[in-house]
Structure 1
């Protein structure tokens, strides 16, 4: 289960924010809601602590089974912007394309999130 501060959002709010995102009318509140929502969904579907997924400035989550870390930088880190994370989570962007274009930075073992995407 996701930490209390990071939970999937209300489905109606997600649908409304996605509609604005796809229509290029999303604001910071929509990006924050969708980023946190999809990070929470990832943590629920791939529980673990071997990969830290960061979507600054909105949130980060540890997910994916494997080597657990307790201090410092995790063994694998994924970082991207909110628009890219939302596109990956919804299947509008493929992991390989995001990585090849430099829209996502992924380092370490298990940093490839392809098996867990899309999240919708």
Structure 2
């Protein structure tokens, strides 16, 4: 299996994730810059793919990124059979451990379809 190609520098990605976590823990009037939010999401999607390489599950965090991960049958055309989709705040909450997978799914914050659409074993990172 091929190694996931990184587009985000690990140091830059970790810094963006730390900035998001800090902003989430102590909200202020100044929102996190969009480019920092985008970097945190994209870096964490790359990290999930690095930890669980494969093509059987598609993780979507619109409008910032999408990745395929988890070993299993390769998906090549049309709508994938295993899809996970959520907003950036929900995704980063799960990635950092501020929000649990089961809690997010039960609250309707995550749309997960398919037999393999469960990242509870991978999150938090």
Flag whether TM exceeds 0.5 (same fold). yes
Asked if 1:91 corresponds to 2:107, the answer is: no
CA RMSD of the aligned region, Å?
A: 1.8
Equivalenced residue count is: 119
Runs of 4+ aligned residues of structure 1 deviating over 6 Å after TM superposition are none
1:19 to 22, 26, 29: 22
1:44 to 33, 43, 50: 50
Is 1:8–1:36's contact at 8 Å kept on the other side of the alignment? no
Secondary structure of the 1:3 match is coil
2:38 to 32, 42, 47: 32
Unmatched 5+ residue regions in structure 2? Answer: none
Q: TM-score, normalised by structure 1?
A: 0.88
Asked if 1:76 corresponds to 2:109, the answer is: no
Residues 19, 86 of structure 1: CA spacing in aligned structure 2 closer, same or farther, 3 A cutoff? Answer: same
Higher Cα radius of gyration: 2
Return the offset for 1:31: 1.8
